[in-house]
Homo-oligomer: A and B are copies of this chain.
Amino acid sequence: MRLAFNTWVYSSFPVWVPSYPLDETIRRLARIGYDGIEIGAAAPHAYPDYLDDAARAGIRRHLDDNGIAVSSMLPAPGGGPGFNVASPLAAERDAAIDQYRKVARLCADLGGKTLLYVAGWQVFGTPAEQAWDWTRDALTDVAAYADDLGVTVVVEPTSADSNLVETCDGALRLMRESGRRNVKVMFDTYHCLYRNEVPTDYVCRMGRDLGHVHLADVARSAPGDGKVDYPALIDALREVGFDGYLTMEIGFDTRAVEPDNIARRAYEYVKPLVS
């Protein structure tokens, strides 16, 4: 299992500061020891419209020079454009699908092979079945596009933030209904905590369909600073033969944070567990 770190805490999303350029962020995470970087598609790091071919080539070289790979990418839902694939506005749904395609392309351009899929959320007045159909259709579309790029799409239940795909079962059902072979599932220990569920149970139930994992503890703190049982979690991952990235997605919900500090603490706690 390789270790990766999600870039939100170094970016301007969701809180604006602290904020570091992407090249600085890459250099810092590589120096700490991470194998991979999960790049959020948000300014000032990697909003697709802002990066032309030359910029992408430059990032790729910088990644190679620092010996760190792109583990995965994901869009930034909830800002001005929303990017809610289940929005009642057709214009927003179209823009959301378009953004997923752009992120998939950017991910491939940077050498990444995994795209996270947030299923959107139900706005007041939209029937649940309607919202579900919209997110399923969007996923099918995005996955078809990603397949041609060699990118796998992983569906993440996001109970703490949304109201559409909140559970292990919801993610598995959406995966099946997409009908695409390059769709898998993932989970985030933080969202398990929000539902008072046991992260290790997610490993057992997702099994071979598990394509990616997010680690975070109480209040988005670093693994080891909260209450999740990481030794058990990593044992379970070994048992099901998981060979993807364990990605820390931490610290990003407040400006009262030192990004390097939380990145290093997480690495130093988890690295011995996977070695």
Which residues on the B side are within 8 Å of A257 (C-beta)?
196
A79 is an interface residue with CB less than 8 A from chain B:
yes
* Partner among B78, B258, B259 whose Cβ is within 8 Å of the Cβ of A79: B78
* A residues whose Cβ falls under 8 Å from a Cβ of B: 12-21, 24, 41-44, 47, 49-51, 75-84, 87-89, 91-92, 95, 99, 121-125, 127-129, 161-163, 166-167, 169-170, 172-173, 193, 195-201, 204, 227-229, 232, 254-261, 264
A62→B108 CA distance, assembly (Å): 45
Contact indicator B200/A92 (Cβ below 8 Å): no
A91→B173 CA distance, assembly (Å): 28
Closest B-chain residue to A163, C-beta based? Answer: B17
Contact indicator B124/A21 (Cβ below 8 Å): yes
> Lowest 8 A-B CB distances belong to which pairs?
A79-B79, A43-B82, A128-B169, A229-B261, A76-B80, A50-B91, A20-B124, A196-B256
Count this chain's copies in the assembly. 4
Closest B-chain residue to A23, C-beta based? Answer: B125
* Partner among B15, B44, B204, B229 whose Cβ is within 8 Å of the Cβ of A82: B44
Contact indicator B15/A50 (Cβ below 8 Å): no
Contact indicator B44/A89 (Cβ below 8 Å): yes
Contact indicator A198/B18 (Cβ below 8 Å): yes
Contact indicator A20/B80 (Cβ below 8 Å): no
Contact indicator A15/B79 (Cβ below 8 Å): no
Which residues on the B side are within 8 Å of A166 (C-beta)?
166
Question: Within the complex, what minimum Cβ distance (angstroms) separates A144 from chain B?
Answer: 23
Excluding A79-B81, A166-B166, 11 further A-B contacts by CB distance (< 8 Å) are A12-B121, A13-B79, A14-B14, A43-B92, A51-B91, A80-B99, A122-B169, A128-B167, A163-B195, A227-B258, A228-B261
A42→B233 CA distance, assembly (Å): 28
Which residues on the B side are within 8 Å of A13 (C-beta)?
78-80, 82
Question: Within the complex, what minimum Cβ distance (angstroms) separates A32 from chain B?
Answer: 10
Closest B-chain residue to A262, C-beta based? Answer: B229
Contact indicator B91/A80 (Cβ below 8 Å): no
Contact indicator A201/B19 (Cβ below 8 Å): no
User: Can you list 21 A-B pairs with a CB-CB distance of less than 8 A?
Assistant: A12-B78, A12-B121, A16-B77, A16-B84, A17-B196, A18-B124, A19-B124, A43-B92, A44-B82, A44-B89, A75-B80, A80-B81, A81-B81, A128-B167, A128-B169, A163-B195, A166-B166, A196-B254, A227-B258, A229-B258, A229-B264
Question: Within the complex, what minimum Cβ distance (angstroms) separates A56 from chain B?
Answer: 13
Which residues on the B side are within 8 Å of A228 (C-beta)?
258, 261
